[in-house]
Amino acid sequence: MNKKPQFPDEQSSEGAFTRQGDAFREWVTVDGSSGYPPARGRYHLYVSWACPWAHRTIIVRKLKRLEDVIGMTVVDPIRDDRGWAFRDGPAHSTDPVNGFQFLSEAYRANDPAYRGRVTVPVLWDKESCRIVSNSDDDIMRMLNTAFNRFTASKLDLYPVDLRQEIDQLNDDIYEQVNDGVYRAGFATSQSAYEQATQRLFEMLDTLELLLDTQRYLFGMNPVETDWRLFVTLIRFDAVYHGHFKCNIRRIIDYPNLFGYLKDLYQYDDVAETVNMDHIKRHYYITHDDINPTGIVPLGPDQDLRSPHGREHL
């Protein structure tokens, strides 16, 4: 059988998905020494409601109260061979900044020879007409600190005293959970799929135990690691469980993880960043090698606003 990988350039000879690195990783710095000083209205985010990596930056922008400081444009959730597109539709739009039709135009503005996969999020500098970064990790941290003078928010998602522990848990969750679901879903060999899936559920089991005694991953307040995990958990039962065959258990089957998911969903205005229509249509329609009929499932029926019961921890 000819097994077609979702992204041929990111597939190993053993059938494992190996994600490409981020292409653009410059920084907005507080002192402007990078050439990108913080400024109100200078920077713009190109994102997708569907993409978990982009979702992280949307959440930090919301929590840090930066909506009036950094603009945001959402791409069409249906991605075809031409890549992410700017079109009018429910909760997405044309590009008001550059008039791009496709996000690939932003990439080529930086590097006309770019041949890698075009991804979201993108932090765009309107002054230089260049991409600052397409790394969600870096963008989260820029939004966390670089624009503090423009917001009343005192929130710090990467506190100094926890940075080493945060970095370590970030790495573990990324390898086994965030990217783990993709390694399972995009595998083109049984062994690659099984290895990724077993590691995924081993880590979910570990997190379930951790969350038995504390409300969030590092105590009483969520940090960036919680939001990095949240974007995978919110998609898990609706997409990864069935579409990516991550079906040993659902998140709803984990009492602590499901309560934690509801707790984070109900935190501040985070629910406003979750667009389940975009999420499901993107995965089930875009990945036509996995779901050739393009049928989008109706379920699951989850009440994420029901009591989470984690206030006592």
Is residue 35 left, alpha or beta, with left meaning phi > 0 and alpha meaning psi from -120 to 50?
left
Residues counted in the chain:
313
Residues 184, 145 share a domain:
no
Contact 255, 245 (CB under 8 A): no
Q: How far is CA 228 from CA 147, 219, 238, 257, in A?
A: 20, 16, 18, 14
Tell me, yes or no, whether 4 lies in a domain. no
Residues 167, 95 share a domain:
no
CATH number at residue 194: 1.20.1050.10
Helices 163-173, 190-210: crossing angle, 10 deg rounding? 140
Residues 169, 143 share a domain:
no
Q: Are strands 71-74 and 43-47 parallel, antiparallel or unpaired?
A: parallel
Catalytic position from the list 51, 216, 240, 254: 51
Catalytic position from the list 36, 43, 182, 260: 182
Range of the domain at 201: 160-270
Residues 242, 198 share a domain:
yes
Q: How many domains does the chain have?
A: 2
**Residue 303 CB partners (closer than 8 Å, separation 6+):** none
Digitized pLDDT (tens) for each residue of the chain, 313 residues in all: 446 676 776 667 777 776 667 889 999 999 999 999 999 999 999 999 999 999 999 999 999 999 999 999 999 999 999 999 999 999 999 999 999 999 999 999 999 999 899 999 999 999 999 999 999 999 999 999 999 999 999 999 999 999 999 999 999 999 999 999 999 999 999 999 999 999 999 999 999 999 999 999 999 999 999 999 999 999 999 999 999 999 999 999 999 999 999 999 999 999 999 999 999 999 999 999 999 999 999 999 999 999 999 999 9
Active site residue 51: yes
Residues 28, 123 share a domain:
yes
Tell me, yes or no, whether 206 lies in a domain. yes
Tell me, yes or no, whether 106 lies in a domain. yes
